[in-house]
Amino acid sequence: MSNPHGHLSMWWDTLPSDLVGAERAPLTDDIEADVAIIGAGYTGLWTAYYLLEHAPTLKVVLLEAQVAGYGASGRNGGWCSALFPASWDKVARGSSKDEAVRLQRALFATVDEVVDVAAREGIDAQISKGGTLVAARTAIQRDRALEEVAHARSYGFDEHDYTWLDADAAAQRVSMTSLLGAMRTPHCAAVHPARLVRGLAQVTERKGAVIHERSPVIGIEPGRVSTERGSVRAPFIVRATEGYTATLPGFKRDLAPVYSLMVATEPLDDATWEQIGLRERETFADYRHLIIYGQRTADGRFAFGGRGAPYHFGSTIRPEFDRDPAVFAELERVLRDLFPVLSGTAFTHRWGGPLGVPRDWYSSVALDRTTGIAHAGGYVGDGVGTSNLGGRTLADLILDRDTELTTLPWVGHRSPRWEPEPFRWIGANTGLRVMATADGAEERSGKPSARAAFFGRFTGH
Ligand SMILES: Cc1cc2nc3c(=O)[nH]c(=O)nc-3n(C[C@H](O)[C@H](O)[C@H](O)COP(=O)(O)OP(=O)(O)OC[C@H]3O[C@@H](n4cnc5c(N)ncnc54)[C@H](O)[C@@H]3O)c2cc1C
């Protein structure tokens, strides 16, 4: 069977046919359920998975506007990391240092949880828990890396969680230009994101969930969600729409959709990988301000992405925004600059998608007990792992299970709403531009960028 969604990402394009499958039937009736979930990405599917794990007879219905895994879950960089977008200091300010550590340790455990569930449920997401290397390639970046490791020590994390590798030790793992050293954390697994989300959809259905595709929700009220052709009455409703949240009526200013874009190379031969390294499929980045992220895929490609695309006025989302030639060209230039051995390598795929950014860059998960409406999201590009913690937590909240998860500091966190336009457009794009130009400014001046530090504080990063 040909794959009608191959254009969405290299991941979709390389899915085995049994994971593409036929589309699921849309909702065409008025039905009842115990829990209605809007969106069949990781957040919605993990929530359904854990609900049914704990309460196998529950009636769980997912309504998906397109097809399961259509959103960021089928297009991302495949870092199943323990990253959280708000800094420990910020989390500690709203709770305590111990609570910030407790959240971080829950995120460490989440990486293993995803690896374990995939193995247990037979989801072949080509997972390798090789950790992450964040390279320092200038003296300023090295200072930043050492500061980060020292900061981790001040929170009680030892070298098993975050460690500094000097230039020789880093070069043992990866052969990258200008490598002065790297921060290594073992808490990340490289995954094939579309295999994970499509496999999870099948597993969730086997557990009893019903997924309706091509069923965009157009109205949410307590106890009821509606689509053009049907509705679901349910005491609990979960909003799992992340980067698309602004398109729902009443949620325009909750999460700003920001685009992340990616490119992938053709598969490289073994001799080339022998030169490059990344033998454990460590995910990699460096300490530049403009976020970049890469992984060595199971089929021997580089999948490499970064920010740099603009925020679109009015939180608009359109398929054509997934592609930005200037950003693609820059990503290809940066990857070749890191690994000159790629000078003659072809790039076979270019794609992108929206992710959800809360005004304070602080992800949240919550259940409003008076309305029965719940959500998890605002992961700012760290959702592959965090969505599992979000789904597990939502299941506990809905089932009223008293667990360690339901008191973590991100539970019930309320982010301020984004400004109305045009201020949202001006603010978001100014921030993106400052980060994009800060690296060049640092290179020229040899000094850390004060503007980037200011915006970093502003976003809480
Ligand atoms: C290019 C890119 C690279 C990324 N890289 C990484 C990474 O390496 N590591 C990491 O941790 N995170 C990364 N992220 C972020 C990560 O992919 C997301 O945080 C995560 O997938 C969010 O999952 P989700 O289920 O909450 O949202 P999504 O996967 O976006 O799912 C939301 C779903 O809701 C559906 N929907 C929208 N509106 C409606 C409606 N009205 N009715 C019904 N359904 C609706 C959408 O079609 C979609 O399927 C990246 C994101 C992008 C775009």
Residue 404 has which token pair?
């360690």
Q: Binning pLDDT at 50, 70 and 90, where does residue 461 land?
A: very low
With vertex at residue 382, the alpha carbon angle to CA 304 and CA 104, rounded to the nearest 5 degrees, is 130
From the list 135, 85, 28, the residue with the least C-alpha distance to 390 is 85
pLDDT of residue 354: 95
Q: Which atom of ligand 1 is nearest to the CA of 43?
A: 25
Strand 236-239 and strand 373-377: the pairing is parallel
Q: Binning pLDDT at 50, 70 and 90, where does residue 308 land?
A: confident
Average pLDDT in the chain: 94
pLDDT of residue 455: 59
Cα(258) to centroid(ligand 1), Å:
11
Q: Binning pLDDT at 50, 70 and 90, where does residue 314 land?
A: confident
Q: Is the CB of 10 under 6 A from ligand 1?
A: no
**CA 282 to the chain's CA centroid:** 17
Cα(388) to centroid(ligand 1), Å:
13
pLDDT mean over 267-296: 96
From the list 404, 273, 302, 322, the residue with the least C-alpha distance to 71 is 322
Residue 460 has pLDDT above 50, yes or no: no
Cα(160) to centroid(ligand 1), Å:
30
Q: Binning pLDDT at 50, 70 and 90, where does residue 273 land?
A: very high
In three-state secondary structure terms, 313 is helix
Type of residue numbered 50: Y
Q: Is the CB of 217 under 6 A from ligand 1?
A: yes
Residue 447 has which token pair?
């000094």
pLDDT of residue 290: 85
In angstroms, the CA 322 to CA 260 distance is: 8
The protein residue with its alpha carbon nearest to ligand 1, atom 21, reads: 73
Residue 256 has pLDDT above 80, yes or no: yes
Q: Binning pLDDT at 50, 70 and 90, where does residue 366 land?
A: very high
Q: Which atom of ligand 1 is nearest to the CA of 379?
A: 19
Cα(334) to centroid(ligand 1), Å:
25
Cα(325) to centroid(ligand 1), Å:
22
Q: Is the CB of 355 under 6 A from ligand 1?
A: yes
Q: Binning pLDDT at 50, 70 and 90, where does residue 458 land?
A: very low
Q: Binning pLDDT at 50, 70 and 90, where does residue 456 land?
A: low
In angstroms, the CA 211 to CA 226 distance is: 15
Q: Write out pLDDT tens, residues 42-68.
A: 999 999 999 999 999 999 999 999 999
Q: Binning pLDDT at 50, 70 and 90, where does residue 451 land?
A: low
Q: Write out pLDDT tens, residues 412-449.
A: 999 999 988 888 888 888 877 787 778 777 777 777 77
pLDDT mean over 348-361: 95
Q: Write out pLDDT tens, residues 138-163.
A: 999 999 999 999 999 999 999 999 99
Cα(156) to centroid(ligand 1), Å:
32
The protein residue with its alpha carbon nearest to ligand 1, atom 19, reads: 383
DSSP classification of residue 246:
G
The protein residue with its alpha carbon nearest to ligand 1, atom 34, reads: 39
Residue 230 has pLDDT above 90, yes or no: yes
Residue 20 has pLDDT above 90, yes or no: yes
Q: Binning pLDDT at 50, 70 and 90, where does residue 453 land?
A: low
Q: Write out pLDDT tens, residues 392-407.
A: 999 999 999 999 999 9
Residue 457 has pLDDT above 60, yes or no: no
State which of 225, 379, 392 you would mutate to test the pocket of ligand 1, scoring each by most atoms of that ligand within 8 A of its C-beta. 379
Residue 213 has pLDDT above 50, yes or no: yes
State which of 5, 73, 224, 375 you would mutate to test the pocket of ligand 1, scoring each by most atoms of that ligand within 8 A of its C-beta. 73
Cα(440) to centroid(ligand 1), Å:
31
pLDDT of residue 449: 77
Cα(244) to centroid(ligand 1), Å:
8
The protein residue with its alpha carbon nearest to ligand 1, atom 13, reads: 381
With vertex at residue 457, the alpha carbon angle to CA 456 and CA 461, rounded to the nearest 5 degrees, is 55
pLDDT mean over 284-297: 94
Residue 454 has pLDDT above 80, yes or no: no
Q: Is the CB of 81 under 6 A from ligand 1?
A: yes
pLDDT of residue 2: 73
From the list 344, 347, 274, the residue with the least C-alpha distance to 304 is 347
The protein residue with its alpha carbon nearest to ligand 1, atom 32, reads: 241
Strand 217-221 and strand 224-227: the pairing is antiparallel
Residue 186 CB: number of other CB atoms within 10 A? 18
Q: Which atom of ligand 1 is nearest to the CA of 383?
A: 19
pLDDT of residue 95: 97
